Amino acid sequence: MPKRTYKRVNLGKYIVADPYICHGKPTFKGTRKMVHCLIEAFESGFSIDELVDEAELPRAAIVEAIELAAKAVKKYYSVPYPKPKPIEEVIKEEAASSGGVTAGDKG
């Protein structure tokens, strides 16, 4: 069986997912600082400026992490709007529920 090779994935200018670093969780390049920890700190009320000071990362790296989290939420947690029914089907359903009388039949 051939040996599997795992590759590093660049998720942005500052963020990488490497299977050999922190079990593949996204980290900031050149560090073992996990992106999800920074996002959790931001969620708990830290400002971007406080995160820059605490994490000792460039402001652009912090912003990139927040943008990446927003994209992930949009992509993986969005529920599609249901496809509308054709008007003919709606009219038939209304006619069936009103005993066969439709708006066009009244009057």
Digitized pLDDT (tens) for each residue of the chain, 107 residues in all: 777 778 999 999 999 999 999 999 999 999 999 999 999 999 999 999 999 999 999 999 999 999 999 999 998 888 888 888 888 888 888 888 877 655 555 54
38 CB-side CA count, 13 A? 31
This prediction's pTM: 0.68
Q: Which residue range(s) make up the domain with 42?
A: 9-69
Domain count, the chain: 1
55: CATH: 1.10.10.10
* Number of neighbouring beta carbons within 10 Å of residue 39: 19
